[in-house]
Every structure is written in C-alpha cells, then in structure tokens.
C-alpha cells in the first residue's frame, strides 16, 4: 500500500514508470521473462513484447531504457535473480531514475548492493484499523455490525 501510494504520488516526475506488483508470486508462476515483458510494455507503451529468454530481456531493458528517466517499483521481491533480471544495475536506466524495492527479506538487497534501505514500522492498532476500513469499505465509517470483526483482524 505504501509503495503504491509513493508510486502514484511521484510517477509524474519521470519519463516513464512501472509498478511491478507481486514479483515473487508472478516470477514463480510465469517466469522472469514475463515480468520483463510487462516492464518493457509499460515503460515503452508497446503491447505484447515477447522475449525469447531472460538474457534477451536484460539486453532489451539495458538498450531501450538507458536514456529514460524511469521510476520502477518492484513489489515483494524475494530473490537476487529477480533484481538482476529487472534492474541489474543503475546504468540500465537514465539519469535521475529511481528503483524502489519492497521485500520482507533483506538478503536480496544486500546481494544487489542497494545503497539505502528504509524499514517500515508496523502500524499501531488504531492506524491498522483505519487502513483496513479504508481498504475494505472505501470509507471511514462502517456499519456497526462490522466493527467487532474489523477489531479482531486489526489486532
């Protein structure tokens, strides 16, 4: 949720942007070539990019994006290979580009030589309840019959 809010707030400051959600799940299910195709499609505005291999994807990303100021958010990364295939090094993208990575495991970040890390603190009960209510009902006020269930979930 926080990464998506950041993306929505700053994406306009870049030539192109891409929010790759659920990297762990999608790479396990469809492979890294699939994620590379999504990344290239969104950033280049081209439909149906077919890549023969992960290595071809790396080459295309490097060649086509090295002059673009890109915002790339990789959500729920769990392996260094995912970072290598999607954002190998800073010179893959143009000056001013930013790559934001969300992960539960800091090992891929260390292996990828990430310069800055920010650990998000757990929400307190009140804020967790407010976020859950907004996500579930798209409003601050809910039917009183849901309050007990929401309180149990937020705890």
Q: Give the Å distances, CA to CA, from 86 to 19, 61, 68, 144.
A: 12, 8, 15, 46
Residues 44-52 have a mean pLDDT of 90
Residue 90 DSSP code: G
Tokens representing 79?
A: 């392996």
> Residue ranges per domain, the chain?
2-111, 125-154
Give the model's pLDDT for residue 142: 81
Q: Cβ distance 141 to 115 under 8 Å?
A: no
Q: Is the dihedral of CA 123, 128, 132, 138 positive or negative?
A: negative
The string of pLDDT tens digits covering residues 66-123 is 999 999 999 999 999 999 999 998 899 999 999 999 998 888 888 777 878 888 888 8
The H or E element spanning position 71 is strand 70-74
Q: Give the Å distances, CA to CA, from 79 to 22, 83, 86, 126, 148.
A: 12, 7, 11, 33, 38
The string of pLDDT tens digits covering residues 16-31 is 999 999 999 999 999 9
């Amino acid at each position: 949720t926080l990464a998506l809010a950041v993306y929505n707030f700053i994406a306009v400051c870049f030539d192109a942007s891409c929010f790759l959600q659920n990297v762990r799940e999608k790479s396990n299910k469809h492979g890294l070539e699939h994620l590379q195709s999504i990344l290239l499609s969104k950033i280049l505005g081209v439909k149906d990019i077919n890549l023969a291999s992960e290595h071809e994807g790396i080459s295309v990303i490097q060649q086509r994006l090295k002059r673009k100021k890109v915002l790339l958010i990789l959500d729920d990364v769990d392996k260094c290979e995912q970072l290598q295939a999607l954002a190998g090094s800073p010179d893959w993208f143009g000056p001013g580009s930013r790559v934001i990575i969300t992960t539960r495991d800091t090992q891929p970040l260390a292996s990828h030589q990430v310069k800055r890390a920010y650990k998000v603190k757990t929400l307190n009960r009140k804020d967790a309840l407010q976020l859950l209510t907004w996500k579930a009902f798209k409003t601050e006020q809910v039917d009183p019959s849901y309050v007990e269930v929401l309180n149990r979930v937020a705890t």
